[in-house]
Amino acid sequence: MRELLNEAERVVGMSKTRLYPGLLLAVVLVLGMSGAWISGQLVKQHAGAWADSGGRRSFFFTVCDVAEKAGFGCAESTEGRWSEMAVPVPRPSRYQGLVIRPARVPVAFLGLAYFVSTVVWFGLLGGPRKAGCPWRYVPLAATGAGGLASVFFVGLMVAGQAPGCVWCLATHMVNLAMVLCIWRLSRGAAVGAQVTHREAFGAVAVSLVLIGGLWVYRSDQLAMHDHLRKVLPFKQVVKSMREDPAFLRREHFAKDPVDIPGRQHQPAGDGRAQLVVFNDYQCPKCAGASSAAIQQAIRAFDGRLDVIVRQYPLCRTCNPNVLSEFHAQACEAAQAAEAARLQGGDGSFWRMHELLHANADRLSVDLYRRLAGQLGLDADRLVADMGSPAVRQVIGEDIEAGRRAGVVGTPTLFLNGRPVNLVFGGPTFWQAMAEARVDSSGSHHAVRPATPDLSMAMSLDSTEE
């Protein structure tokens, strides 16, 4: 009986021995990842290149707002004396190969690198190793130095030599807790395998790759932020131009009009204002910018406008002007739209036009059949008409007209023969054009109502799978 009790105690003791290091290891990893996340947020705050967008404040900045009311200086912490350090960084040189030069590195990034390295080491190599293993002292030395650094920075904040930052303080507390767990974990390292050189160098290599990638990402973000900052004044200029009707009229009428022949069944308007849209059903901007422009133009012209959609699929199947299969289903989709027109007239075309754009990510013959049924058309006839000579001829004429007009992409819009610059497009542009009331020759006069009824087409929802 005593032997059984002794054996039970031995098994329980072994279980505790295995469970306790495993729990400590899990805590170390959680603390390391938490420290990495906080450090990453501090790096963003230091750079100022990842500001919140969309009018929402993230959890990080919400805590900063609350902390600042309590006397902490989150913003000042990224601009103080101790926010950066000079660190030797290897850099490529044209004549000297690789040279070591000092670089100003945010302390927050050094913290991010420290936490990432710790997580990688313990994540790949696991928990305790034999006491005689020399590699076991590497994380002890690194985290020991990290713990001293945390004590130093906390001391600076307490002494008033550095701004009090609630997230910085949280980072140091997380680090000190992680250091204590790692040192406690190392005290029981009497069992386990030795850390081989291959394992150690592998962990170091992974850490360096991750840290290097984070540094490159940060550098790219800063470069983009700097570029956007330089472009911002020009953005304001463009915005002011978009709101200047006189400039918009001068800019538009300075362009030479292009002769766009009408289709056989749809000749050019007799003096009516005309908006020609070269379209591709797999073009995201055709569904967004083009549709928005059409609606703005119709409202501005108060319905006194002909809107004509011409097909220009960016697909070599039907468009020889395209160098590659850019939009593989665009030709078939154009055929489906024109087949709907052939069977049901312009009203069916406009409804099919909108539904094809709404389902641009799932274009197929099955979809065309379902849409035909939804619009009350004969699905079999629509599929048959898609390959008919009449439909192919119409699309071929549109493509040739687009080529002659200089179309190279979609959407491309022409108002009374003059290309529309969508950079300046918007309600003000269309209102300015409507007030000018010009035809292709540039003379001013009124236009007769001739508007496609898009109300039904715009109200249709996309079909479900």
State the distance between the two ends of the chain, measured CA to CA, in whole angstroms.
70
Residue ranges in 301-329 assigned as alpha helix (H): none
Domains along the sequence of the chain with CATH = 2-48+58-234 (no CATH), 256-459 (3.40.30.10)
Backbone angles phi, psi at 214, to 5 degrees: -65, -40
Burial of 65 (0-12, 13-18, 19+ CB in 10 A): exposed
The answer for residues whose C-beta is within 8 angstroms of residue 258's C-beta and 6 or more apart is 404, 405, 406, 414, 417, 418, 419
Burial of 93 (0-12, 13-18, 19+ CB in 10 A): exposed
Residue 276 confidence (pLDDT): 94
What 3-state DSSP class applies to 282? Answer: coil
Q: Name the residue among 388, 396, 358 with its Cα closest to residue 374.
A: 358
List the pLDDT tens digit at each of the 465 positions of the chain. 555 445 444 543 444 445 567 788 889 999 999 999 988 888 887 766 555 444 455 666 677 766 666 666 666 666 667 777 777 777 777 676 777 777 778 888 888 999 999 999 888 887 666 656 677 788 888 888 999 989 998 888 888 777 777 888 889 899 999 999 888 887 755 555 677 788 888 888 999 999 989 888 888 878 877 777 777 777 777 778 888 899 999 989 999 999 888 887 665 555 678 999 999 999 988 888 788 888 999 999 887 888 999 999 999 999 999 887 778 999 999 999 999 999 999 999 999 999 999 999 999 999 999 999 999 999 999 999 999 999 999 999 999 999 999 999 899 999 999 999 988 888 999 999 998 864 433 443 333 333 444 433 333 333 333
Strands ordered across the beta sheet of 274-279 = 306-311, 274-279, 412-415, 418-419
The answer for residues whose C-beta is within 8 angstroms of residue 420's C-beta and 6 or more apart is 252, 275, 293, 413, 414, 429
